[in-house]
Amino acid sequence: PQTIYLEDYTPFGWRIAEVHLTFRLAPHATRVLSRIRFDPAPDAPEQDFFLHGEDLTLIRAAIDGAEITPALSPQGLRCAVPDGSFTFETEVEIAPAANTALEGLYMSNGMYCTQCEAEGFRKITYYPDRPDVMATFTVRIEGTEPVKLSNGNPGGSGNGYAEWHDPWPKPAYLFALVAGDLVNHPGSFTTMSGKEVALNIWVRPGDENKCAWGMESLIASMRWDEKVYGREYDLDVFNIVAVDDFNMGAMENKGLNVFNSSCVLASPETSTDANFERIEAIIAHEYFHNWTGNRITCRDWFQLCLKEGLTVYRDSQFTSDMRSPEVKRIGDVIDLRARQFPEDQGPLSHPVRPESFQEINNFYTATVYEKGAEVIGMLKRLVGDDAYAKALDLYFDRHDGQACTIEDWLAVFQDSTGRDLTQFKRWYSQPGTPHLSVTEDWQDGTFTLTFAQHTPGQQDAQPQVLPIAVGLLGPNGDEVAPTRVLEMTETRQSFAFDGLGARPVPSILRGFSAPVVLERATSASEKSFLLAHDTDAFNRWEANRDLARACLEAMVTEGTEPDDAWLGALEQVVRDDTLDPAFRALMLALPTQAEMAQHLHANGVTPDPDALYAASESLRNAMAARWSGWLGDLRAACTVDAPYDPGAGQSGKRALGGALLALLTRLDGGAAAQAQFDAADNMTLQLGALGCLVQAGTEHAALARFAEQWRGDRLVMDKWFALQVAATAPENAATRAEALTRHPDFDWKNPNRFRAVFGSLAMNHAGFHARDGRGYRLLADWLIRLDEKNPQTTARMCSVFQTWRRYDNARQALMKAELERLAAKPGLSRDVTEMVTRLLG
Ligand code: HT7
Ligand code: ZN
ipTM field: 0.98
Please check the confidence at residue 241 and state whether its pLDDT lies above 90.
yes
Is residue 667 classed exposed, middle or buried when 0-12, 13-18 and 19+ CB atoms within 10 A define those classes?
Answer: middle
For the stretch 146-158, pLDDT in tens is: 999 999 999 999 9
State whether the beta carbon of 251 lies less than 6 angstroms from ligand 1. Answer: yes
Output the pLDDT for position 388.
98
In 350-455, DSSP assigns E strands to: 356-357, 403-404, 435-443, 446-454
Centre a 10 Å sphere on the Cβ of residue 671 and count the other Cβ atoms it contains.
13
For the stretch 423-476, pLDDT in tens is: 999 999 999 999 999 999 999 999 999 999 999 999 999 999 999 999 999 999
Domain with CATH 2.60.40.1840 in the chain: 435-514
The domain made up of 435-514 is a member of CATH 2.60.40.1840: yes
For the stretch 182-208, pLDDT in tens is: 999 999 999 999 999 999 999 999 999
d(CA 138, CA 130): 19
State whether the beta carbon of 252 lies less than 6 angstroms from ligand 1. Answer: yes
Please check the confidence at residue 626 and state whether its pLDDT lies above 90.
yes
Output the pLDDT for position 66.
98
Q: How far is the centre of ligand 1, averaged over its atoms, from the C-alpha of 786 (Å)?
A: 20
Percent of the chain with pLDDT over 70: 100
User: Which ligand 1 atom sits nearest the alpha carbon of residue 286?
Assistant: 16
User: Which ligand 1 atom sits nearest the alpha carbon of residue 364?
Assistant: 12
CATH number for 4-181 (one of 3.40.50.2000, 3.40.190.10, 3.30.479.30, 2.60.40.1730): it is 2.60.40.1730
286 tagged catalytic: yes
d(CA 120, CA 141): 19
Domain with CATH 1.10.390.10 in the chain: 297-429
For the stretch 389-406, pLDDT in tens is: 999 999 999 999 999 999
List the CATH code of the domain at 297-429.
1.10.390.10
Angle at 514 between CA 512 and CA 518, to 5 degrees: 75
Closest Cα to residue 242, out of 283, 275, 278, 274?
Answer: 283
Closest Cα to residue 649, out of 580, 579, 575, 573?
Answer: 580
Which three-class secondary structure string do you get for 179-246? Answer: EECCEEEEEEEECCCCCEEEEEEEECCCCHHHCHHHHHHHHHHHHHHHHHHCCCCCCCEEEEEEECCC
Give residues with Cβ within 8 angstroms of 708, minimum separation 6: none
Please check the confidence at residue 521 and state whether its pLDDT lies above 90.
no
Mean per-residue pLDDT, 81-95? 98
For the stretch 571-608, pLDDT in tens is: 999 999 999 999 999 999 999 999 999 999 999 999 99
Ligand 1 pocket, mutate which of 117, 315, 792 (most atoms under 8 A from CB):
117
Q: How far is the centre of ligand 2, averaged over its atoms, from the C-alpha of 292 (Å)?
A: 9
Read off φ and ψ for residue 441, nearest 5 degrees: -140, 140
User: What number of CA atoms fall less than 13 Å from residue 836's CA on the CB side?
Assistant: 24
Q: How far is the centre of ligand 2, averaged over its atoms, from the C-alpha of 331 (Å)?
A: 19
The residue annotated as part of the active site, out of 145, 163, 286, 699, is 286
Output the pLDDT for position 596.
98
Ligand nearest to the CA of 245: 1
The domain made up of 593-840 is a member of CATH 3.40.1640.10: no
Mean per-residue pLDDT, 207-212? 98
Give residues with Cβ within 8 angstroms of 61, minimum separation 6: 67, 68, 69, 70, 77, 79, 88, 89, 90, 91, 126
Output the pLDDT for position 1.
86
Output the pLDDT for position 247.
98
Domain with CATH 1.25.50.10 in the chain: 593-840
For 473, 529, 544, 573, 582, the CA distances from 534, given in Å and listed in that order, are 7, 8, 11, 12, 18
Please check the confidence at residue 387 and state whether its pLDDT lies above 90.
yes
User: What number of CA atoms fall less than 13 Å from residue 221's CA on the CB side?
Assistant: 27
Please check the confidence at residue 653 and state whether its pLDDT lies above 90.
yes
Q: How far is the centre of ligand 1, averaged over its atoms, from the C-alpha of 254 (Å)?
A: 13
Read off φ and ψ for residue 30, nearest 5 degrees: -80, 135
Ligand 1 pocket, mutate which of 251, 261, 367, 831 (most atoms under 8 A from CB):
251
Mean per-residue pLDDT, 42-59? 97
Q: How far is the centre of ligand 2, averaged over its atoms, from the C-alpha of 305 (Å)?
A: 9
Please answer whether residues 661 and 689 qualify as being in contact, where contact means their C-beta atoms are separated by less than 8 angstroms. Answer: yes
Mean pLDDT of the chain: 98
Give residues with Cβ within 8 angstroms of 823, minimum separation 6: 833, 836, 837, 840
> Is residue 172 reached through a cis peptide bond, with omega within 30 degrees of 0 on the bond before it?
no
For the stretch 805-827, pLDDT in tens is: 999 999 999 999 999 999 999 99
256-260 and 250-251 strand pairing: antiparallel
Tell me how many helices (H) and strands (E) the chain has.
Answer: 29, 31
Domain with CATH 2.60.40.1730 in the chain: 4-181
**Amino acid of residue 640:** V
